[in-house]
Amino acid sequence: MKPNGALHQLEQESIRIIREAVAEAERPVMLYSVGKDSSVMLHLALKAFYPMNPPFPLLHVDTTWKFREMIAFRDATAARLGMELIAYTNQEGLREGVTPFTHGSRAYTDVMKTDALRMALDAGGFDMILGGARRDEEKSRAKERVFSFRDARHHWNPRGQRPELWSVPNLARNRGESFRVFPLSDWTELDVWRYIAREAIPVVPLYFAARRPVVERAGQWIMVDDGRMPLSPGETPRMKVVRFRTLGCYPLSAAVESRAATVRGIVRELECARSSERAGRLIDFDQAGSMEKKKQEGYF
């Protein structure tokens, strides 16, 4: 295999997408979720506009249930790059006490992630929203355009997507309408890690195997990141060497047992992996077609 040839091609195509989106935007923004894909996307944006700082702010939808290490990494990254960071929390949901434990993952995701994202985008009046989603993550994502139109309510219409020809996207829109732009559409999980290795891109340490306090729930390892995690009677956190393949809110992201403590180790692990990345994402299993539904309503 000559992964560098393919990686180079993916990198160059993504930079073209980022430049096109920003050039046609009135108010661009990058949805920065602090994960590995966001880290790669941000790195590509730095290259796209070098030596200028990318001409847009970073937006993080903070559910208040992110791993503490993620928040620390986020703030350090924005400060290091001198980029504006907008951290948005749905205050109404917070006041009503919506948590993944009290309201279930579905309602919690609707309120603290999807609603919050819509509110944050409306508040900023953003019309071109860069996101790190990849088509290989999930079946309905595999169907989505690179430049994906959203109506004024942020809804996606999977049956009526605009044709997308060559590298000439139709970005015409009326006030209030917007585009979600996915520069990493054609990347796979393995591509992302190989690129992180090649470019030495900093990522949240949670991706690397370490001893962490976990409890077993429904056959999956959930990390006890802070004192807010309700434990059942008799349930005590155990220390296990685990890492995260995908990062979201800590009660909804399962850890995997792994010894991969370096980027190279992760690449080697993935080259012979037998299960997919989203197997650790609890919210995707709520119901069949659940991602499509969430996306239609405005989820990334």
Partner 1 sequence: MTKAGAILRFLACGSVDDGKSTLIGHLLHLTGNLYDDQVAILEQESARLGTNGAGIDYSLLLDGLTAEREQGITIDVAYRYFATPQRHFIVADTPGHERYTRNMATAASRCSAALILVDARQGVLPQTRRHALICALMGIRRFLFVVNKMDMAGWSEQGFREVQAQCNRLAGDLERFGLPRAECVAVPVSALNGDNLVALSPNMPWYDGTTVMGWLHAVAPGEGMEHAAPRLPVQYVIKVARPGGAWQEGADGAFRRGGNGTFRAYAGTVVSGSLKRGDRVVVLPSGLRTRVREMWCGDRLVRQAVAGMAVALSLEGEHDVVRGDMIVAEDQRTELAHLFKVRLVWMDDQPLYSGRHYLFKGVAGTATAGITRIRGRIEPDSYQRLAADHFSLNDIGEAELALSLPIPFDPYAENRETGGFILTDRLSNATVACGMILHPLRRTATVRRQCEEIGPPERAAIKGQRPCVLWLTGFSGAGKSTIANCLERKLYTLGRHTMLLDGDNIRQGLNRDLGFTEAGRIENIRRIGEVAKLMTDAGLIVITAFISPFRAERDMVREILPGGSFVEIHVDTPLEECERRDPKGLYRKARQGEIPNFTGIDSPYEPPRAPALRLGTMARPVWECADAIIAYLREHGLLPE
In this structure, are residues 81 and 46 in contact, taking their beta carbons and an 8 Å threshold? Answer: yes
| Shortest Cβ 12–partner 1 spacing (Å) | 5
In this structure, are residues 223 and 212 in contact, taking their beta carbons and an 8 Å threshold? Answer: yes
What one-character DSSP code corresponds to residue 161?
A: P
d(C-alpha 195, C-alpha 184), whole Å: 12
| Shortest Cβ 40–partner 1 spacing (Å) | 13
| Shortest Cβ 156–partner 1 spacing (Å) | 11
Nearer to partner 1, 186 or 297 (CB): 186
In 3D space, the residue among 273, 141, 132 whose CA is nearest the CA of residue 192 turns out to be: 132
Two structure tokens written together for 125: 């009046």
At 113 the three-state DSSP class reads helix
Nearer to partner 1, 48 or 267 (CB): 48
Nearer to partner 1, 91 or 170 (CB): 170
In 3D space, the residue among 190, 192, 187, 186 whose CA is nearest the CA of residue 271 turns out to be: 190
Binding site for partner 1 (CB under 8 A): 1-6, 8-10, 12-13, 15-16, 19-20, 22-23, 46-52, 135-136, 138-143, 158-159, 161-168, 170, 172-174, 185-186, 188, 190, 273-276, 279, 288-289, 292-293
Nearer to partner 1, 103 or 293 (CB): 293
In 3D space, the residue among 37, 80, 87, 36 whose CA is nearest the CA of residue 57 turns out to be: 87
Q: What is the residue type of 142?
A: A
| Shortest Cβ 250–partner 1 spacing (Å) | 22
Q: 């995997």: which residue's tokens?
A: 256
Two structure tokens written together for 7: 């990686």
| Shortest Cβ 85–partner 1 spacing (Å) | 19
| Shortest Cβ 199–partner 1 spacing (Å) | 9
In this structure, are residues 215 and 222 in contact, taking their beta carbons and an 8 Å threshold? Answer: yes
Nearer to partner 1, 139 or 211 (CB): 139
Nearer to partner 1, 4 or 102 (CB): 4
Nearer to partner 1, 62 or 189 (CB): 189
Q: 97: burial class by Cβ within 10 Å (0-12, 13-18, 19+)?
A: exposed
| Shortest Cβ 292–partner 1 spacing (Å) | 6
